[in-house]
């Protein structure tokens, strides 16, 4: 049995993500923990096992560079309660200072008690006094532990710092188009949306999907099912044979530790499906599985970069998406996706980011689908990202571009959380790797783009040339 989880550590605002591939923060969000579900550096949700967590920001750096985070909040259009953090940090330090003084007092008293006993004198008064001091020390230690947990929980909710090349803005209108490929197809008829084409050709049955499961699920039939499979196989073949990625087929169930390490928990708990009375969750994206391949490991520098790809089904509750894209299969609770993921050296990550984005866009070029690449502004970026490119494909039925891939450089943000480091060849201290991810591509949205862009006046759908070997036909006939 699957169910949505309980409250998270912060007041969760409505999500304004336009696509299954990315998690976004809504402008003016307030990032501050609600104090639920986590103590002493451990996070738990109802029915789950508690796991130790690391923060995504170094506490010392955060404390000493609050101005940097104030600027980040301004650029992202969110509110950080930094005054509350200062008060919390001051209280914690005061408790530690006073407690260290008590511990020094207790150590000195222990020496005095030993001397008195050695001289056969009574130490009862000092022992009684030190019992009270020990009780105060215990209470203060417990308080410091509580304050430590609150600090960690705060850092869990603070998004990544945008790269300097990211434009400042509040939403999609401030994103910057950086590349445009191809032109929209021209028709001598009114192009239909994919759900009408799917019904006319008998390749999409949304009514049966709703009966079997519910809203926001799809049932592909006949050539529609084969097209879905052909698209995924084509993606994997291109990325492994031409782009140098190693294919992974991971589990579709993940545990709480993996979701914590990838940054899906606690922030996105309401978007996930959890299996009742277990520590298993349905994967929201194979980014989780790929990221966790090297959790708590140190990679040799000469092994980097590591490029991996995976096809999985993905499951999301679509919380906060009520009323959006309700027709067709644009926004689903289950969808298939081919993910691209990289572990890189810090000084190579932006070079690798451009390459990853190019790998995703190359798929659309091979399919001859009109698309563009946009650089997201600071207010439209995902929680973990330092810089993100969206690739948007043209949909003729609505006469607009729609997101089909989101390619992000998270720098060390996720790696710090998961404890993924590399050992420099020259020696010295291990450092955190940089992680990058992107859809390469979303299978369902590519299915939509092909069906709509290649539709014919008679209701049939021409198959793009590169997919014909996978399909065995050059056209899906109208019924």
Pairing mode of beta strands 246-248, 306-315:
parallel
pLDDT in the model for residue 318:
77
Owner of token pair 């976004």: 24
Confidence class of residue 43 from pLDDT cuts 50, 70 and 90? very low
Residue 360: CB atoms within 10 Å = 26
Question: What is the C-alpha separation between 329 and 19, in angstroms, rounded?
Answer: 12
The mean-pLDDT minimum among 45-59, 159-173, 248-262, 321-335 falls in 45-59
3-class SS shares of the chain: helix, strand, coil, % to 5: 40, 20, 40
Is the omega angle on the peptide bond into residue 266 within 30 degrees of 0, that is, cis?
A: yes
Q: How far is 413 from 286, CA to CA, in rounded Å?
A: 18
pLDDT at 151: 87
Matching residue, tokens 């430590």: 148
pLDDT tens digits, one per residue of 401-457: 999 999 999 999 999 999 999 999 999 999 999 999 999 999 999 999 999 999 999
Give mean pLDDT, residues 284-311.
98
Residue whose C-alpha is closest to residue 14's, from 298, 381, 319, 245: 319
Looking at residue 10, its pLDDT comes to 31
Identify whether the C-beta of residue 275 lies closer than 8 Å to the C-beta of residue 336. Answer: no
Q: What pLDDT shows up at residue 322?
A: 60
> DSSP 3-state assignment of 393?
strand
**Residue 425 DSSP symbol:** T
Confidence at residue 31, expressed as pLDDT on a 0 to 100 scale? 32
Hey, which of 26-30, 326-330, 413-417 has the most confident mean pLDDT?
413-417
pLDDT of 9: 27
Whether 142 has a pLDDT exceeding 70, the answer reads yes
Higher-confidence residue: 182 or 24? Answer: 182
CA distances, 368 to each of 70, 181, 188, 446 (Å) = 44, 9, 20, 12
What does the pLDDT look like over 158-206, one tens digit per residue?
999 999 999 999 999 999 999 999 999 999 999 999 999 999 999 999 9
Average pLDDT over residues 349-367: 98
Tokens of 328: 């067709």
Instruction: Report percent pLDDT > 90 for the chain.
Output: 79
Q: Are strands 51-52 and 42-43 parallel, antiparallel or unpaired?
A: antiparallel
């Amino acid at each position: 049995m699957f169910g949505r989880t309980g409250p998270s550590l912060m007041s969760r605002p409505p999500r304004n993500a336009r696509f299954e591939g990315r998690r976004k923060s809504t402008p003016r969000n307030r990032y501050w923990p609600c104090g639920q579900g986590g103590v002493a550096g451990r996070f738990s949700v109802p029915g789950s096992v508690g796991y130790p967590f690391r923060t995504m920001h170094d506490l010392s750096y955060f404390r000493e560079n609050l101005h940097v985070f104030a600027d980040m909040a301004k650029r992202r259009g969110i509110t950080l309660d930094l005054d509350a953090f200062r008060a919390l940090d001051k209280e914690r330090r005061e408790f530690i200072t006073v407690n260290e003084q008590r511990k020094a007092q207790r150590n000195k008293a222990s020496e005095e008690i030993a001397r008195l006993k050695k001289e056969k004198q009574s130490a009862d008064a000092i022992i009684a006094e030190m019992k009270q001091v020990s009780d105060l020390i215990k209470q203060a230690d417990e308080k410091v532990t509580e304050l430590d947990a609150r600090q960690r929980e705060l850092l869990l909710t603070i998004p990544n710092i945008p790269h300097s090349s990211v434009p400042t803005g509040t939403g999609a209108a401030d994103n910057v188009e950086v590349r445009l490929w191809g032109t929209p197809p021209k028709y001598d008829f009114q192009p239909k949306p994919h759900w009408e084409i799917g019904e006319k050709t008998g390749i999409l049955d949304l009514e049966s999907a709703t009966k079997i499961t519910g809203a926001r699920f799809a049932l592909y039939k006949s050539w529609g099912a084969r097209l879905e499979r052909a698209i995924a196989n084509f993606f994997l073949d291109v990325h492994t044979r031409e782009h140098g990625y190693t294919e992974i087929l991971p589990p579709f169930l993940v545990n709480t530790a993996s979701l914590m390490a990838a940054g899906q928990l606690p922030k996105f708990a309401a978007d996930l499906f959890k299996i009742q009375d277990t520590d298993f969750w349905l994967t929201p994206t194979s980014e989780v599985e790929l990221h966790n391949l090297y959790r708590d490991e140190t990679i040799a520098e000469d092994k980097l970069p590591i490029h991996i790809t995976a096809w999985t089904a993905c499951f999301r509750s679509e919380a906060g998406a009520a009323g959006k894209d309700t027709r067709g299969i644009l926004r689903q609770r289950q969808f298939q996706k081919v993910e691209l993921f990289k572990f890189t050296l810090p000084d190579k990550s932006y070079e690798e980011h451009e390459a990853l984005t190019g790998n995703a866009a190359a798929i659309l070029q091979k399919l001859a689908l009109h698309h563009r690449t946009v650089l997201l502004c600071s207010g439209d970026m995902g929680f973990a990202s330092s810089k993100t490119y969206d690739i948007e494909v043209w949909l003729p039925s609505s006469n607009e571009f729609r997101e089909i891939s989101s390619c992000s450089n998270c720098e060390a943000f996720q790696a710090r959380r998961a404890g993924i480091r590399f050992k420099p060849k020259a020696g010295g201290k291990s450092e955190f790797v940089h992680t990058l991810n992107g859809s390469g591509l979303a299978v369902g949205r590519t299915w939509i783009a092909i069906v709509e862009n290649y539709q014919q006046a008679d209701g049939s759908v021409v198959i793009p040339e590169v997919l014909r070997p996978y399909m065995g036909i050059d056209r899906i006939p109208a019924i």
